[in-house]
């Protein structure tokens, strides 16, 4: 493959991997606190819609991006209420949130299908974008991509090198012991749910503000679920999430290119690729598990003390 | 310290848990009304149109009952899996493959008599759906993959297989380019009961529901499922073959969804086309949870949620509310019912801690 084809393909890989990366990092953060949130798909699409609508009204993509994050956190807070306050089943609550979020976005978005909103465009970083090969792939992107270069580092520093991070991990690892040590486990889990939801909302906004620039129903198309799978692939570590997200970005970029090139392969088979890959990736990462950072108390509720 | 706190109930709440359920549904309807208002529809008028459209006339009632059949069968399967604490989110895909399997037989043997063709279609639908449920079970037990994600991904794959077939090899040359197979021969169609508008699928549902209930209540395997669902470790310790149980349950779950796919293709649409995928598999999850995995309650809940779907169609026609509103109501009902579960397991007490 010549370099003229390879570089744009890899640049597109980074771009299509970015929304998944946001969502995966969000889910990692939430799961680290012990809460399993299967509502990623619904939260992402809510973020995508809110970002799109706010951009349309204000004309300012930055406000829109932040609004999408807040929308994501509010959507996730529903999951927080059901699981942390009302002791509901985390699996079912997440599913309900997905059904609700997808319904909500398609409900409010139907009248905007096909319309565009002001978004982010390419912003090459001076000097860095001149670096041969890597410059064109990583540093000739939009700002939102650059943000994802920073988040995994910040998240890693937070989780592994700060007291707060340790508290969050303790809430996911061994809540009873954490409580005994005087920690407010419920508060830690709320932090996990809200901050994670914020990131998922941002991931959705990336789709509508930087990726497609226009609204279509079912914009997320399963990316939220892919993110849930990638958390397992990433062994719950922010750094590995980057590789996983770009792996999927690569498959999606390739699939789009193949489709555009007029290949005789039917489009329905090409569209299957990311989903087949998700299962494959899951099988491989489950195979040799053992050294993952899976939180021991993931998905279990904290029974109220009486 | 005088504060509100919650205390675990010694015995689960009895009949008043119905009140909790009703309150939860009421709250979700109020919230749905708010969302209608945000979307620019007068909420009271909207909710009234919803109920009138779903249950307010003989036609609506019949339509709801017909739509309840696929939801009921999918939900029955989902409930058996949930009972074992295996999260089968894949009813949608298992339904799709069931419809594909049934269609394959119907298109391959158009001249066969009904008494051979229909059982053949059912058999193929059950095998295809069951197979689609069996794969994630094997992956889960042999390789420890997460069944939630695998079943969900297999939904997308199944729907794309269906698309591939109806846009490609199975497309009816006489369909003017529309993605659909040709209409089934009359012997591949399940007829109506007497002169009514109901097809015989309704009877299938009653029989399968009854069998499911008997299976869960009176057989050894049914007991093992319930026991393992409550405590996997204890079940393994007691010598229950847990791995085989999971595979059996997911295959059974898929088979029931596949049967639903057969009914939908054979009786409601009489061919295969993409619009057969209406999200029944996801509604089935809501239904199963609302009904607390009990087959009789599943029947009631399936009818109610089918009614909501029919009502949303009416809402779409009357007040131009997008069909996605149905998802909002379903999601809200499930969330509020989950939250309401607190009141059936815990007591709220005020006053000082003793």
Shortest CA gap A125–chain B (Å): 37
How do residues B62-75 score in pLDDT, each as one tens digit? 999 999 999 999 99
Residue that has been written with the tokens 């953060």 in this structure: A29
Which residues of A, range 25-54, sit inside 8 Å of B by Cβ? 38, 42
Residues spanned by the domain of A172: 3-291
Nearest partner of B189 among B123, B262, B255, B257, judged by Cα: B262
Kindly write down the DSSP assignment for every residue of B323-344, as one continuous string: TTHHHHHHHHHHHHHHHHHHHH
How do residues B143-154 score in pLDDT, each as one tens digit? 889 999 999 999
Within 8 A of A268 by CB-CB distance, chain B residues are 160-161, 163-164, 167-168
Within 8 A of B39 by CB-CB distance, chain A residues are 107-108
Shortest CA gap B180–chain A (Å): 15
How do residues B152-177 score in pLDDT, each as one tens digit? 999 999 999 999 999 888 888 887 87
Give the separation between CA A23 and CA A36, rounded to whole angstroms.
13
**Is residue B270's pLDDT more than 50?**
yes
How do residues B310-322 score in pLDDT, each as one tens digit? 999 889 888 889 9
B282 → chain A, closest CA residue? A99
Q: By the CB < 8 Å criterion, does A90 face chain B?
A: no
Shortest CA gap B111–chain A (Å): 31
Give the separation between CA B24 and CA A255, rounded to whole angstroms.
44
CA distances from A39 to A27, A98, A192, A216, A225 (A): 10, 5, 14, 20, 9
Shortest CA gap A77–chain B (Å): 12
Q: Which positions ≥6 away from A46 have C-beta within 8 Å?
A: A71, A72, A75, A101, A104, A105, A201, A204
Instruction: Identify which has the larger pLDDT, A131 or B138.
Output: B138
Give the separation between CA A294 and CA A289, rounded to whole angstroms.
10
Nearest to A283 among B139, B330, B335 (CB): B139
**Is residue B7's pLDDT more than 90?**
no
Within 8 A of A85 by CB-CB distance, chain B residues are 339, 342
Count other C-beta atoms under 10 Å from residue B60's C-beta: 19
Interface confidence, given as ipTM, is: 0.92
B288 → chain A, closest CA residue? A92
Q: By the CB < 8 Å criterion, does B348 face chain A?
A: no
pLDDT, position A1: 56
Give domain status of residue A303, yes or no: no
Shortest CA gap B39–chain A (Å): 6
Give domain status of residue A305, yes or no: no
Shortest CA gap B114–chain A (Å): 33
What SS3 class is residue A140? coil
Best B23, B85, B152 residue to mutate vs chain A (most A CBs within 10 Å): B152
pTM of full prediction above 0.90:
yes
Helices A223-233 and A185-206 sit at what angle, rounded to 10 degrees? 130
CB B67 within 8 A of CB B128: no
Q: By the CB < 8 Å criterion, does A273 face chain B?
A: no
Nearest partner of B268 among B206, B173, B198, judged by Cα: B198
> Structure tokens of B158?
């199944």
Instruction: Identify which has the larger pLDDT, A271 or B344.
Output: A271
How many domains are contained in chain A? 1
Task: Give percent of chain B above pLDDT 70.
Answer: 97
Shortest CA gap A81–chain B (Å): 8
Contact B335 A108 (CB under 8 A): no
Which residues of B, range 32-51, sit inside 8 Å of A by Cβ? 35, 38-39
Best A92, A217, A227 residue to mutate vs chain B (most B CBs within 10 Å): A92
CB B346 within 8 A of CB B299: no
CB A43 within 8 A of CB A96: no
Q: By the CB < 8 Å criterion, does B352 face chain A?
A: no
Distance of CA A74 to the CA centre of its chain: 16
pLDDT, position B354: 47
Which residues of B, range 126-155, sit inside 8 Å of A by Cβ? 139, 143-146, 148-150, 152-154
Residue B199: φ, ψ to 5°: -90, 170
Helices B58-83 and B43-55 sit at what angle, rounded to 10 degrees? 90
Give the separation between CA A25 and CA A1, rounded to whole angstroms.
32
Kindly write down the DSSP assignment for every residue of A155-218, as one continuous string: HHHHHHHSHHHHHHHHHHH-HHHHHHTT--HHHHHHHHHHHHHHHHHHHHHHIIIIISSB--TT
Distance of CA A291 to the CA centre of its chain: 23
Count other C-beta atoms under 10 Å from residue B58's C-beta: 8
Give domain status of residue A206, yes or no: yes
Q: In this structure, is the dihedral angle defined by the CA atoms of residues A226, A227, A228 and A234, taken in order, positive or negative? A: positive
How do residues B258-268 score in pLDDT, each as one tens digit? 999 999 999 88
What SS3 class is residue A142? coil
From first to last of its 306 residues, chain A has per-residue pLDDT tens of 577 888 889 999 999 999 999 999 999 999 999 999 999 999 999 999 999 999 999 999 999 999 999 999 999 999 999 999 999 999 999 999 999 999 999 999 998 999 988 889 888 888 888 888 888 889 989 999 999 999 999 999 999 999 999 999 999 999 999 999 999 999 999 999 999 999 999 999 999 999 988 899 899 989 999 999 999 999 999 999 999 999 999 999 998 888 888 888 888 889 999 999 999 988 888 776 667 788 988 988 887 764
Give domain status of residue A136, yes or no: yes
Count other C-beta atoms under 10 Å from residue B63's C-beta: 22
Residue A124: φ, ψ to 5°: -65, 135
DSSP-assigned beta bridge partners for residue B348: B6
- Tell me which DSSP letter residue B95 carries: H
Report the CATH number that the domain containing residue A239 is assigned in CATH.
1.10.3470
CB A281 within 8 A of CB A244: yes
Residue B330, burial from CB neighbour count under 10 angstroms (0-12, 13-18, 19+): buried
Phi-psi region of B279 (alpha: psi -120 to 50; beta: other; left: phi over 0): left
Give the separation between CA A231 and CA B8, rounded to whole angstroms.
34
**Is residue B26's pLDDT more than 70?**
yes
Give domain status of residue A300, yes or no: no
Interface size between A and B, measured as CB pairs under 8 A: 160
Domain boundaries, given as residue ranges, for chain B: 70-292
Within 8 A of B160 by CB-CB distance, chain A residues are 268-269, 271-272, 275
Give domain status of residue A226, yes or no: yes
Which residues of B, range 224-253, sit inside 8 Å of A by Cβ? none
Count other C-beta atoms under 10 Å from residue A75's C-beta: 28
Q: Which positions ≥6 away from B97 have C-beta within 8 Å?
A: B128, B129, B131, B132, B158, B161, B162, B254, B258, B261
Contact A88 B148 (CB under 8 A): no
Shortest CA gap B104–chain A (Å): 19
A283 → chain B, closest CA residue? B145
CB B93 within 8 A of CB B229: no
Q: Please, what is the average pLDDT of chain B?
A: 90
pLDDT, position A290: 64
Give domain status of residue A306, yes or no: no
State which of A150-164, B224-238, B332-346 shows the largest mean pLDDT: A150-164
Give domain status of residue A240, yes or no: yes
Q: By the CB < 8 Å criterion, does A157 face chain B?
A: no
Residue that has been written with the tokens 């969330």 in this structure: B335
pLDDT, position A122: 85
Nearest partner of B259 among B159, B126, B66, judged by Cα: B126
Q: By the CB < 8 Å criterion, does B7 face chain A?
A: yes
Contact A228 B35 (CB under 8 A): no
Contact A306 B8 (CB under 8 A): yes
A230 → chain B, closest CA residue? B149
Contact B331 A269 (CB under 8 A): no
> Structure tokens of B341?
């579960």
């Amino acid at each position: 493959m010549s370099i003229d084809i390879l570089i744009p393909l890899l640049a597109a890989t980074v771009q299509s991997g970015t929304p998944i990366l946001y969502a995966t990092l969000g889910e990692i953060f939430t799961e680290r606190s012990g809460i399993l949130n299967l509502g990623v798909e619904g939260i992402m699409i809510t973020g995508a819609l809110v970002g799109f609508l706010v951009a349309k009204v204000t004309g300012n993509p930055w406000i829109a991006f932040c609004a999408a994050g807040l929308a994501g956190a509010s959507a996730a807070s529903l999951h927080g209420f059901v699981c942390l306050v009302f002791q509901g089943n985390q699996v079912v609550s997440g599913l309900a949130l997905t059904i609700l979020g997808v319904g909500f976005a398609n409900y409010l978005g139907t009248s905007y299908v096909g319309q565009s909103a002001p978004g982010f465009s390419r912003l090459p970083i001076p000097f860095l974008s001149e670096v041969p090969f890597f410059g064109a792939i990583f540093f000739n992107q939009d700002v939102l991509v650059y943000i994802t270069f920073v988040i995994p580092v910040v998240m890693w520093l937070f989780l592994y090198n700060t007291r707060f991070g340790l508290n969050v991990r303790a809430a996911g690892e061994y809540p009873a012991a954490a409580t005994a040590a005087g920690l407010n486990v419920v508060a830690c889990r709320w932090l996990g749910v809200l901050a994670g939801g914020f990131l998922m909302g941002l991931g959705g906004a990336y789709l509508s503000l930087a990726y497609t620039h226009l609204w279509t129903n079912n914009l997320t198309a399963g990316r939220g679920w892919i993110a849930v799978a990638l958390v397992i692939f990433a062994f719950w570590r922010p750094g590995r999430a980057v590789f996983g997200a770009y792996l999927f970005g690569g498959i999606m970029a390739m699939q789009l290119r193949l489709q555009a090139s007029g290949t005789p392969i039917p489009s329905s088979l090409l569209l299957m690729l990311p989903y087949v890959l998700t299962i494959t990736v899951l099988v491989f990462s489950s195979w040799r598990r053992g050294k993952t950072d899976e939180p021991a108390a993931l998905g279990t509720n904290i029974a109220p003390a009486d | 310290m005088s504060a509100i706190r919650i205390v675990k109930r010694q015995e689960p709440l009895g009949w008043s848990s119905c009140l909790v359920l009703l309150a939860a549904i009421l709250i979700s309807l109020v919230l749905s009304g708010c969302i209608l208002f945000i979307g620019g529809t007068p909420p009271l008028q909207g909710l009234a149109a919803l109920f009138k459209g779903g249950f307010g006339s003989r036609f609506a009632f019949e339509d709801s009952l017909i739509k309840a059949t696929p939801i009921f069968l999918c939900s029955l399967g989902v409930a058996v899996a949930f009972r074992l604490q295996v999260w089968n989110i894949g009813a949608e895909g298992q339904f799709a493959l069931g419809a594909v399997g049934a269609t394959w037989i119907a298109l391959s043997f158009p001249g066969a008599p009904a008494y051979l063709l229909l059982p053949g279609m059912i058999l193929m639908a059950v095998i295809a759906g069951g197979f689609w449920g069996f794969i994630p079970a094997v992956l889960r037990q042999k390789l420890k993959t997460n069944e939630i994600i695998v079943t969900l991904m297999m939904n997308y794959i199944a729907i794309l297989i269906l698309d591939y077939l109806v846009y490609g090899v199975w497309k009816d040359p006489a369909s003017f380019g529309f993605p659909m197979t040709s209409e089934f021969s009359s012997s591949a169609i399940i007829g109506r009961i007497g002169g009514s508008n109901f097809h015989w699928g309704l009877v299938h549902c009653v029989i399968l529901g009854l069998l499911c209930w008997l299976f869960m209540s009176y057989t050894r395997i049914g007991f093992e499922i319930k026991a393992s669902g409550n405590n996997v470790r204890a079940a393994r310790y007691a010598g229950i073959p847990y791995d085989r149980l999971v595979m059996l349950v997911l295959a059974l779950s898929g088979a029931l969804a596949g049967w639903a796919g057969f009914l939908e293709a054979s009786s409601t649409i009489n061919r295969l086309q993409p619009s057969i995928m209406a999200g029944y598999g996801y509604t089935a999850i809501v239904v199963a949870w609302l009904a607390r995995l009990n087959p009789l309650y599943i029947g009631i809940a399936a009818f109610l949620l089918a009614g909501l779907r029919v009502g949303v169609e009416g809402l779409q026609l009357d007040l131009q509310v997008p069909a996605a509103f149905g998802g909002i109501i379903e999601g809200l009902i499930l969330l509020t019912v989950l939250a309401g579960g607190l009141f059936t397991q815990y007591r709220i007490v005020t006053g000082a801690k003793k």
